[in-house]
Amino acid sequence: MNTSMTDLLAQVSNGSADTPYTVSADWGQGRATFGGLLGGMIYTAMRREVDSARALYSFMLSFVGPVAMNEPFTITVSTLRTGRSAIQMEAKVWQNQQVMCAALACFCTARSSKVHVTPSDAPLAPLPDTLPALPYIPNITPAFSQHIDFRWAFGGLPFCNMPSLDMGGWMKLSGFESNEEMTVAHLITLIDAWPPAVLPHLAKPAPASSMTWNIAFMHPMPKLTHDWLLYRAHIDQAADGYGQTHAHVWSAQGELLAISSQTVAVFDES
């Protein structure tokens, strides 16, 4: 039986430290639960502990081990410090009495400041409707990708032996109306949906996984709907089986929403 993302997030929003959650195999990424969905669930667990006036500015995750599908896990949340304008929080995902994912987050309120820098414009890209949809192919593309519509616009596909430094395109979650509100949990899930930007450099399939993942969110953030988002990742460096990448995410209107950075492990040599 497939798991609805909407139902999962609702369970977390109404849950507690003892509430067990189970994710079905359609949200799998190899042998593990898709990290983006876990990130959205962890954020939702943190969000229920913070008043709505504080927005998420920074979100950092360390994937300690693979969270198995179809097995229960829990999410614990603790507040590390509450300041006048910022709250620092920690969360952990527990499965079989082991920590499988750890997260830190900073929720802040806006403050008056003379510093104001407008971000660079979004890159030019073909409109999503002019690009072919990336098909979901069982046992070839990750199971979770059946829930996401991808339109490739930058760089090559994984394992195409194309040594470009950039990769990405348009993305949106399937199963939502275009005018339906998108939450930060949905945004977190989407940001992690793209494969590691180093994979197009390979000529044949090989496993890869994120080890650490940091996201900075831009504020004030516009109200988002389930419209197309533009994603472009850039490889900063890769060697010795690890890659360092960062990515920018823009709304369909060209507004910068988030900057993501990852340390990725690649297992292309046995």
pLDDT band at 140 (very low <50, low <70, confident <90, very high): confident
CA dist 249 → 11, 60, 80, 120, 138 (Å): 27, 17, 29, 12, 27
Q: What is the pLDDT of residue 2?
A: 80
Cα 192 off chain centre by: 3
pLDDT tens per residue across span 48-99? 999 989 999 999 999 999 999 999 999 999 999 999 999 999 999 999 999 9
Spatial distance between the Cα atoms of 53 and 71, rounded to a whole number of angstroms? 35
Here the tokens at position 61 are 């995750």
pLDDT tens per residue across span 168-200? 999 999 999 988 999 999 999 999 999 999 999
Spatial distance between the Cα atoms of 162 and 189, rounded to a whole number of angstroms? 26
Q: What is the pLDDT of residue 169?
A: 98
Strand blocks (E) in the chain: 28-29, 32-33, 55-63, 74-82, 86-95, 98-108, 148-154, 166-173, 208-217, 229-239, 242-251, 256-266
Here the tokens at position 86 are 């910022």
Mean pLDDT of the chain: 95
Query: Apex CA 177: angle with CA 173 and CA 183, to 5°?
Result: 60
CB atoms within 10 A of CB 229: 24
Residue from 33, 17, 41 nearest 105 by CA: 41
CB atoms within 10 A of CB 262: 25
Tell me which fold the domain 119-270 belongs to: Porin (2.40.160)
Q: Are 227 and 169 in contact (CB under 8 A)?
A: no
Task: Domain 1-111: give its CATH architecture.
Answer: Roll (3.10)
Residues 188-214 have a mean pLDDT of 94
Q: Which residue is associated with the tokens 């890159």? A: 123
Q: What is the pLDDT of residue 184?
A: 97
Q: What is the pLDDT of residue 270?
A: 56
CB atoms within 10 A of CB 42: 25
pLDDT tens per residue across span 9-47? 999 999 999 999 999 999 999 889 999 999 999 999 999
The dihedral sign for the CA sequence 90, 94, 98, 101: negative
Residue from 195, 120, 111 nearest 157 by CA: 195
Domain boundary assignment for the chain: 1-111, 119-270
Here the tokens at position 122 are 């979004």
Q: What is the pLDDT of residue 269?
A: 80
Q: What is the pLDDT of residue 178?
A: 87
Residue from 1, 64, 2 nearest 38 by CA: 64
Residues 223-231 have a mean pLDDT of 96
Q: What is the pLDDT of residue 113?
A: 93
- For the whole model, what pTM was predicted? 0.95
pLDDT band at 139 (very low <50, low <70, confident <90, very high): confident
Here the tokens at position 165 are 């430094």
Query: Apex CA 197: angle with CA 188 and CA 192, to 5°?
Result: 10
Here the tokens at position 232 are 């472009």
Spatial distance between the Cα atoms of 158 and 205, rounded to a whole number of angstroms? 8
